[in-house]
Structure 1
Amino acid sequence: MRLPIISALIAAIAVPTFAESWDDTLSAARGQTVFWNAWGGDERTNDFIAWASDELDARYGVTIHHVKLSDTAEAVTRVIAEKAAGKTEGGSVDLIWINGDNFLSMKEQGLLYGPFVQDLPNAKYLDLSEGSAATVDFTIPTEGYESPWRLARFVLTHDSARVQEPPRSVTALLDWASEHPGRFTHPAVSNFMGATFLKQALIELAPDPALLQSEPTDETFSGVTEPLWTWYDALRPHLWRQGKTFPENESVLQQMLNDGEVDFAMAFDPAAAAAAVERGLLPFSVRSYAPEGGSIGNVSFVAIPFNAAHKEGAMVVANFLLDPATQARAQDITILGSYSVLDPAALGAQEKAAFDALPSSPALPTNEELGRTLNEPHPGWMTRIAEEWAKRYTE
């Protein structure tokens, strides 16, 4: 009668606990340099990643080598090439800041390591219920192959000294632009921010926005985007330089706003303008806001390629990014100003206090002012919109 009890005890001892498993990860990660391929076009983000590297080195003996990308597809292409060459271990990419169609491409081609998110101790601070923002990337279920690290929302920024009542919808924007020719523009649609502006307009104008949650067919794309192109045809002549040329990215557009060349900028970070004011890059009179019907929002993720040379170190980085103290620092507008991905209901009193103590700014919209978060369309819409826009307006 005692044998089953003894066997059960042995089995219980033989199974490693979660803590023991994470200790093994930390041990293996010590001394590793994680090659994090991440967009390098924002100085605040670059500084934050450098700070994270210093902190990780001091705590865990893990450092980050920031491979600065202008386009995430650069890293994806590298992993694809390594797989084609038979390089299944020791890959050059350990971690990727990734979203949308790039994630979908890697997932479909079996280029991701995992699932790993459930193995991160700080995942307890996330809402990982089915369909939550932390588990869906541009309508694609992440299934534990991506770990969230920052929250984004589309906002428009205006100089309130010049524009007291900004347009609160894309229809109102058309009216405003026609009355103020040359005072509004958007980044080139080949740039993520320019494409996001068109997606925001598409959601507001689409006859049936629910169709945007599925991959577009020729039929649905034609029908759903028809109002978008009609609206844009009317808007384009009133844009800066008659819509014949566009700023390269949101940073250039922000500088144009600061110089008084245009009256609006845009960002996928509600705190971007407040942070720019803090750094003296925009006047105190700027304000950011979301359209009255809500704005596109999503979570930025990190993923680990299947052949990463330093998987353990990459997991340590991903876990560190979810630490409430790290998230609070990231949300500080004097540092990064990136909204937290953590579930407030999962935070303790001390952790909540760190967020409550963060500095504010007149340029920073409140969560209430941001209003409803609109779901990102399926990645196929962004690809086809950019292609169609180029065909219609640049060829």
Structure 2
Amino acid sequence: MRKSFAAVSITAALALASLPAQASWQDTLEEAKGQTVYFNAWGGADNINDYIQWAADRIKDEYDVTLKQVKLTDTSDAVNRVLAEKAAGKNNNGSIDLIWLNGENFRAMKDNQLLSKPFSQSLPNYIKYIDESARQSLTLDFGTPVEGMESPWGMAQVIFMHDTETLQNPPKSMQALLTYAQANPGRITYPEPPQFLSSTFLKQALYELTAHRKALSQPVDSVDFDTITTPLWGYLDQLHQVAWRNGQNFPSSSEEMMRLLDDQEIDVALSFDISAASVQIDKGNLPDTVRSYVFDQGTIGNTHFLAIPYNSGANAGAQVVANFMLSPEAQVRKQEPTVWGDLSVLSYDKLSENEQAQFDDLPRGIATLSIEELGKTLPEPHSSWVDALETEWRQRYAQ
């Protein structure tokens, strides 16, 4: 009897200990009802916009929260808007309630105290499904500690695309890409900075070309930028001479690169979306002979997040949205290759057998690489490298 009583006491104590957290989230749900959440998110891909609208419909039905996407061409525009509101003393009911961001934009908001108090580690789905030890980028966003100020939403990795009808053996390193461009003038290009994929292309090249890889994890002002980047500029000087349009013009985005690939103007396109080729093939925008691939030494990958500005007028609603985006339902749909194909941030081991089966049963897509095929994921340099590389690029190459 004593043993049974002890077991009951422990169970009761555990139940009582969980009540404040449950009550707190219930309060958040009640407060969120009827709120409108203005979600600032990059709006450059129709399939991603469609996914956000699907989530908005589900969130409205389930939680009586209205999610409205404000489509951005550059996330820094939203960061600057919050900064301007703070300078003007608009500390309540700001124009932005939730932002899709990472990297230098997160660092800028954190450094300028533009973020809500830590919230992500209190979200029920974060507690249930996220394993912070599984991936460093869940807790370090381009070298900046997350500290609960943003909630992980998805993972991405750079992939390249080629049409197997015209290019059977694509170049699988930066040096091989240059060699191919020199042998095939006008057939290789990359997006123009400051487009985020262009910055990633520069970082990918720098990672492969520099002899000082460890320095990339440090703030850029703490290392010898000129020495570290000299091989990059020498490489680009050579590439631009034989690039598409002689390196005088550059595509504006991954979407434009895929259009150029479809029109057979270029031979290699790139994306930060591992299912981009499958999505565009499904839509009829690319031939079904296009396939994805990665470089032999790996490609850069990262985690992207949702953050709440400090002056959000719908903080509770924004938390409800972030929590829904971490649900298996939302993450499974997001990983469907013809919906988005974005890699899930959820820990597979924390899922139930039924939830695991839903991920296991996902179709891969005709041109989508498996986790094994994606190979090695290279870490993002410290976020301060983005602005430094873009500034130097403009000084050297901007028309």
TM range (shorter): over 0.9
Moved over 3 A (4+): 12-16
Inter-partner Cα distance in structure 1 for 2:18 and 2:166: 66
Tell me whether 1:309 sits opposite 2:318 in the alignment. no
Q: Give the one of 15, 19, 24 matched to 2:22.
A: 19
Q: Which amino acid letter does the alignment assign opposite residue 30 of structure 1?
A: K
**1:193 counterpart = 2:201:** no
**What's the CA shift for 1:132?**
2.4
Q: 2:86 aligns with which of 60, 83, 89?
A: 83
Question: Equivalences for 1:183-332 in 2 at 5 Å?
Answer: 183-217=187-221, 220-332=224-336
Correspondence for 1:4: none
Unmatched segments (≥5 aa) in structure 2: 1-11
Q: Distance in 1 between matches of 2:336 and 2:398?
A: 40
How much does 1:290 deviate? 1.2
Task: Give the equivalent residue in structure 1 for 2:5.
Answer: none
Q: How does 1:63-78 map to 2 (within 5 A)?
A: 63-78=66-81
1:141 equivalent in structure 2: 145
Q: Secondary structure of the residue that 2:68 maps to in structure 1?
A: strand
> What per-residue deviation string (whole Å, max 9, x for no partner) do you get for residues 162-203 of structure 1?
111111100111111111111111111221111211111011
Root-mean-square deviation (Å): 1.7
Whole-angstrom distance in 1 between the partners of 2:17 and 2:245 = 70
Q: Could you tell me the TM-score, scaled by structure 1's length?
A: 0.94
Instruction: State how far apart, in whole Å, the 2-side matches of 1:365 and 1:206 are.
Output: 28
* Corresponding position of 2:6: none
Q: Deviations over 1:273-311 (max 9, x none)?
A: 111111111111111111111110001101000110000
Superposed CA deviations along residues 89-120 of structure 1, whole A, max 9, x for unmatched, are 11111000011111101101111112101110
> Which of 94-103 and 14-23 deviates more?
14-23
What is the distance in 2 between the residues matched to 1:121 and 1:13? 17
> Which of 148, 159, 170 is the matching residue for 1:155?
159
CA distance in structure 2 between the partners assigned to 1:172 and 1:127 by the alignment: 37
CA drift at 1:19: 1.4
Residue 97 of structure 2: aligned partner:
94
Residue 366 of structure 2 is aligned to residue 362 of structure 1: yes
Q: 2 CA distance for matches of 1:330 and 1:110?
A: 31
**How far off its partner does 1:130 sit?**
8.9
Deviation of residue 348 (structure 1)? 1.6
Counterpart of 2:43 in structure 1: which amino acid?
G
Question: 1:345 — aligned with what?
Answer: 349
Counterpart Cα distance in 1 of 2:371 and 2:132: 21
Q: Quick one: percent identity of the two aligned structures?
A: 46
Partner of 2:7: none
> Structure 1 pair 130/369, CA: closer, same or farther in 2 (3 Å)?
closer
Q: Which residues in structure 2 correspond to 1:104-119 (within 5 Å)? A: 104-119=107-122
1:344 positional shift: 1.4
Displacement, 1:79?
0.8
- For structure 1, the residue ranges without an aligned partner over 5 or more in a row are 1-8
How far off its partner does 1:366 sit? 1.2
Secondary structure of 2:133 counterpart: coil
Instruction: Give per-residue Cα distances to partners, 1:318-358, cap 9 Å, x unaligned.
Output: 00000011101000012111111111121121111101111
**Cα distance between partner residues in 2 of 1:218 and 1:394:** 26
Q: Does 1:40 align with 2:40?
A: no
Q: Counterparts of 1:268 and 1:22 in 2: how far apart (Å)? A: 34
| Cα deviation 1:12-40 (Å, max 9, x = unaligned) | 97995211111111000011110000001
Aligned partner letter, 1:109: N
TM-score, structure 2 length as denominator?
A: 0.94
In structure 2, distance between residues paired with 1:326 and 1:109: 31
